[in-house]
A and B are shown apart, each in its own frame.
Chain A
């Protein structure tokens, strides 16, 4: 079933795709650094008047929960990545590699970059999982 991005439904679908991915199970098996949150910053031009938060509880190749969250909850995750809607869309469509997005300032990370780099394979696998979610982008709906 198609899910609008960003939404709670999309986040839950993302979690299901992650848990169905043999690639992520393998490449993320050493991830023990805690939850990751994503913030899509408000984009009034497409009707998103507030920032949207997503929370993924990732551990050893498994997504233990995936849901939308408040900004306060997102702030509590050891890793919080924030970006404008358009850059998230590029990540999901595979045209923006996540770490390159961080280095070039399109994605902003609160947390320890070196940990992300050590698990670069898992990060890339997550991006590939995001691309597999049946997505309706809010500006194209």
Chain B
């Protein structure tokens, strides 16, 4: 008699998803559904000058556009959020529309909190302390990677302490995610590659996390199947709207998966690399992931069998090779050395990684920086 029971789990996903080419032109209708009339648009200067999809969005918003804040930088910080929130308040905004990648979306989440509660976003940092729904937030991702449009986390850079901090709260899930692949048509191949590998990492880490569950597994497996098929196409053919659409949906599914299952050691290391060596998040994940998978396999040999089956591979250990092969195919560096990281910074990266909550959910437990130094040296030099 089979007796292995499914462990208890919960799964949360309160975000409405709207998908389709041209859907960005209908944001005004989504605002109406949320009871909003004045949108504060958060983006960066590159996207604001990016062309037809953005123009269509602006035209669709018409007189409901209360203001545009295009000063978001790669790792958005407290000061930028506070500045945006003040501008939104001065403009009389009653909702935020974020158009961009992870930094823009997380800045939008921070602005929603500061706009609703007043004061600086610094005053509201914590875990699940917000008292209720925040300023309504509509998100249009412009990369196929972050998945932040369906997560309850905002990663915010503290320039004083030179590290990233997390605002984690069930009340910062955006209300609506609009997946319009037209926003991705101008994305350069290197960015398509690194952000796509970020989504692959979300999926793999959701599959190996200690918080994994059947719903997140289903979403993660669908993600790696879609990314395996379409990410190389989107990279090679930037204007392929079908490939952009599939990868955008894939990153969204991965976001929903990891916001429930959480991520693991790879993300902890990537966050450390971002803070210490300024390695872009997707690239850091792409480089570290296959090594972290092999590290985990030493403790749990069957860990990736499910993923191997979904990818049509023979055994779980081939999935790490598949990830590394995908990165090579996308012309990404596969070692930290090649990415320009100084070897003598690895100790600091290890320290930073061990302050990251993601490490807690890794299937092979690690607690001290020394425990991951051999792994970091391997990620730096390559196998």
- Assess A102 versus B165: contact at CB under 8 Å? Given A117-B355, A118-B354, A121-B367: no
Residues 44-80 of A, flagged 1 when their CB comes within 8 A of B and 0 if not, give 0000000000000000000000000000000000000
The answer to whether B10 touches A104, judged by C-beta atoms less than 8 angstroms apart, is yes
Q: How far is the CB of B70 from chain A (nearest CB, A)?
A: 29
Cβ–Cβ < 8 Å partners of B367 in chain A: 120-121
The answer to whether A113 touches B360, judged by C-beta atoms less than 8 angstroms apart, is no
The answer to whether A99 touches B129, judged by C-beta atoms less than 8 angstroms apart, is no
Cβ–Cβ < 8 Å partners of A115 in chain B: 355
Per the 8 Å Cβ criterion, residues 94-117 of A in contact with B are: 99-100, 102-105, 107-115, 117
Q: How far is the CB of A80 from chain B (nearest CB, A)?
A: 8
Interface size range on B against A: 20 to 34
Per the 8 Å Cβ criterion, residues 355-371 of B in contact with A are: 355-357, 359-360, 367
CA–CA, A117 and B355, complex, Å: 5
Stretch at the interface among B73-81, B120-128, B137-145, B309-317: B120-128
The answer to whether A108 touches B10, judged by C-beta atoms less than 8 angstroms apart, is no
Q: How far is the CB of B225 from chain A (nearest CB, A)?
A: 28
The answer to whether A113 touches B354, judged by C-beta atoms less than 8 angstroms apart, is no
The answer to whether A113 touches B129, judged by C-beta atoms less than 8 angstroms apart, is no
Q: How far is the CB of B351 from chain A (nearest CB, A)?
A: 9
Cβ–Cβ < 8 Å partners of B126 in chain A: 108-111, 113
Per the 8 Å Cβ criterion, residues 303-360 of B in contact with A are: 354-357, 359-360
Give A82's nearest chain B residue, CB to CB: B129
The answer to whether A117 touches B128, judged by C-beta atoms less than 8 angstroms apart, is no
The answer to whether B125 touches A102, judged by C-beta atoms less than 8 angstroms apart, is no
Partner of A117 from the list B125, B129, B211, B359 (CB cut-off 8 Å) is B359
CA–CA, A103 and B126, complex, Å: 11
Cβ–Cβ < 8 Å partners of A118 in chain B: 354-355
> Is B262's CB within 8 Å of the partner chain A?
yes
Partner of B262 from the list A103, A107, A117, A121 (CB cut-off 8 Å) is A103
Partner of A114 from the list B10, B170, B355 (CB cut-off 8 Å) is B355
CA–CA, A77 and B69, complex, Å: 35
Cβ–Cβ < 8 Å partners of A99 in chain B: 357, 360
Give A27's nearest chain B residue, CB to CB: B367
> Is B37's CB within 8 Å of the partner chain A?
no
The answer to whether B125 touches A112, judged by C-beta atoms less than 8 angstroms apart, is yes
CA–CA, A117 and B357, complex, Å: 6
Cβ–Cβ < 8 Å partners of A114 in chain B: 163, 165-166, 355-357
CA–CA, A117 and B268, complex, Å: 11
> Is B168's CB within 8 Å of the partner chain A?
yes
Task: Name 6 extra pairs, CB < 8 A, besides A109-B127, A113-B168.
Answer: A82-B129, A102-B128, A103-B211, A109-B129, A113-B126, A120-B360
Report which A residues bind B (CB closer than 8 A): 82, 99-100, 102-105, 107-115, 117-118, 120-121
- What are 11 inter-chain pairs, A to B, with CB distance below 8 A? A99-B357, A102-B127, A103-B211, A103-B357, A108-B127, A113-B127, A113-B166, A113-B357, A114-B356, A117-B354, A121-B367
